Structure 1
Amino acid sequence: MEAEAPRSRSISTHLRGALNACRGALALTSRLALDIALPTLCVACREPVDGEGVCASCWAKLSFIAPPFCPRLGIPFVYDPGPDLLSMEAIANPPAYARARAAVRYDDVARTLVHALKYQDRTDLAPAMGRWMARAGHELLGEADVLIPVPLHWRRGWSRRYNQSGALARVIERQTGVKVASEALRRVRPTQQQIGLSRSQRASNVQGAFKVAAERSADIQGRRVILIDDVLTSGATADACARALLRAKAASVDVLVFARVVDSHKAPI
């Protein structure tokens, strides 16, 4: 009888392994059949593409941000002004957050990627976009304690079904090991979309819209926070979020986004 038990366990183990192998083969076959029937198209130009939704031609059109850039705002410079020199915007209108970094400029291809992720359920784009963000923000991420995605109001979250900033944050979490605290920061009142608003209107629109949940304050207090979002335009939303996090006693707040709007006329001083 004692010999029968190990033999039975061995047979059971082999059967489970064979069943899992069959399931894996069936899933692979199904994916291959789906790829043949519905090939992935480039999100920008609609040409067939193998992989993450961007063809080689459109990938080459993305304008990745690399040094030299403003050490405070991450705005790229047209020439290298030397170490630690700030952009005019950083000096004239310093934000509540310490540093901002972006993977790419917000150009035509980047806009298409962002809109597809945000409005068209193209969550398959998040892994590539998140990896590019992790690369752009490696300096910040090396010092960070927690990632906080910019939250949606619950009504907008209900209509969209997911938060694009949260999807990007989870990719970065897997890439770096820095944990996401997705419920720590909340949008406590609905705001209108920022598109079409002036800088002052954007700031007024999000003033007082964010708050750290009292029961999640331990996720923030004394922690070095990175705020995650898809696009940085005027910085009003990031600034409002940073102020809420700093009121909750965050040690510091940095910002990491996929794309940022860049005014080519800005220069260092």
Structure 2
Amino acid sequence: MSAVTTLRESIAPLVDLIYPPRCPVCGAAIAQQAGLCASCWSDLVIPGEPACAACQRPFAGASTGEGALCAPCLAQPPRHDGIAAGTLYNDTARKLVLAFKHGRRIALAPMLARLIAARLPPMEGEWLVAPVPLHRWRLWHRGFNQAVLLAAEIARLTDAELMVDGLERRKRTPALGGLGRKARMRTLQGAIAVDSRRRARLRGAQVLLVDDVLTSGATSDACVTALKRAGATRVVVACFARVLDDGGMGRASMSEPHRS
């Protein structure tokens, strides 16, 4: 047990006395600081099978053939090599993301990362864990990149190498919320690139690209494109909440947090 862990456990009772543990979604009293109440846990929607072989989008039907692809992947084969989502985006997931990102509840990072890690495919060989980047002005305003916090926790859970500076956002873009997929892609054109100092390390690498929310996929597509142009052989996208646009749970019509 590390000194940090020992110190954290020793002061936990004092923290709980001053700040009684509350569910970050509904405010109900809970046993520990990092967790949810039973009701909010049950409201989270965990992706399951059957699912698209390419992007792991859950199928509504109970019976599909092995290797079946969803309609979006049939229409436009993805650049990535799979998506691992901890949850599907619904009201409870939205409140968690808002508390984490805009409410500055950064202590939620380990819990959110564990939900993501539970959905990861087998990670054989060496992997790099790279967060989706924020523009420096957005980083200065917010004070942290939520994707970096998640990536750091996932790297620790998987014993993979963390690369926080592999990607950079060179162009400040407006909030993407409310824009369609094509408009998002136009907005992101030329905005994300690989740091030239990391090109050699990325050549031939397997990369786990981490973000908090996957909405239209435009941001992740820009990141995946940049990573593969740099020579990455495989890029899997990992997120806490995935927005689906099929009218089911996690539908894009809900008010999702902005990524910029």
Q: Which SS does the other structure have where 2:184 is aligned?
A: helix
Q: Tell me how far 1:28 sits from its aligned partner.
A: 5.3
Instruction: Give the partner amino acid of 1:181.
Output: M
CA contact (8 A) 2:185 2:218 kept: yes
Q: Tell me how far 1:53 sits from its aligned partner.
A: 3.3
Q: Tell me how far 1:37 sits from its aligned partner.
A: 2.5
Q: Which residue of 2 aligns with 1:147?
A: 129
Cα distance in structure 2, aligned partners of 1:26 and 1:215: 37
CA contact (8 A) 2:46 2:86 kept: yes
Q: Which residue of 2 aligns with 1:113?
A: 96
Answering whether residue 64 of structure 2 is matched by residue 104 of structure 1, we say no
Q: Tell me how far 1:109 sits from its aligned partner.
A: 0.6
* Matching of residues 120-159 of structure 1 within 5 Å: 120-139=103-122, 141-142=123-124, 145-159=127-141
Q: Tell me how far 1:29 sits from its aligned partner.
A: 5.8
Q: Which residue of 2 aligns with 1:204?
A: 186
Larger Cα-atom Rg: 1
Q: Tell me how far 1:24 sits from its aligned partner.
A: 9.3
| Closer/same/farther in 2, CA of residues 60 and 26 from structure 1, 3 Å limit | closer
Q: Tell me how far 1:265 sits from its aligned partner.
A: 5.2
Cα distance in structure 1, aligned partners of 2:101 and 2:82: 24
1:16-51 CA distance string (max 9 Å, x none): xxxxxxx99987564312312211211111011122
Match for residue 173 of structure 2 among 181, 191, 195: 191
Match for residue 242 of structure 1 among 224, 229, 243: 224
* Matching of residues 54-65 of structure 1 within 5 Å: 54-65=36-47
Cα distance in structure 2, aligned partners of 1:242 and 1:224: 11
Q: Which SS does the other structure have where 2:85 is aligned?
A: strand
CA contact (8 A) 1:70 1:76 kept: yes
Q: Which residue of 2 aligns with 1:38?
A: 19
Q: Which SS does the other structure have where 1:138 is aligned?
A: coil
Cα distance in structure 1, aligned partners of 2:233 and 2:107: 34
Q: Which runs of 5+ in 1 are unaligned?
A: 1-22
Answering whether residue 31 of structure 2 is matched by residue 47 of structure 1, we say no
* Matching of residues 2-21 of structure 1 within 5 Å: none
Q: Tell me how far 1:80 sits from its aligned partner.
A: 3.0
Q: Which residue of 2 aligns with 1:10?
A: none
CA contact (8 A) 2:84 2:121 kept: no
| Higher share of residues assigned helix | 1
State the identity %. 37
CA contact (8 A) 2:214 2:239 kept: yes
Q: Which SS does the other structure have where 1:101 is aligned?
A: strand
Cα distance in structure 1, aligned partners of 2:206 and 2:5: 41
Cα distance in structure 2, aligned partners of 1:144 and 1:259: 25
Q: Which SS does the other structure have where 2:236 is aligned?
A: strand
Cα distance in structure 1, aligned partners of 2:8 and 2:54: 47
Instruction: Give the partner amino acid of 1:160.
Output: R
1:32-75 CA distance string (max 9 Å, x none): 12312211211111011122231111001100011111121121
| Closer/same/farther in 2, CA of residues 167 and 81 from structure 1, 3 Å limit | same
Q: Tell me how far 1:136 sits from its aligned partner.
A: 0.4
Q: Which runs of 5+ in 2 are unaligned?
A: 249-260
CA contact (8 A) 1:106 1:259 kept: yes
Instruction: Give the partner amino acid of 1:71.
Output: A
CA contact (8 A) 1:184 1:219 kept: no
1:186-219 CA distance string (max 9 Å, x none): 1111111111111111111111111111111122
More displaced, 120-129 or 45-54?
A: 45-54
Answering whether residue 56 of structure 2 is matched by residue 74 of structure 1, we say yes
Match for residue 94 of structure 1 among 54, 74, 77: 77
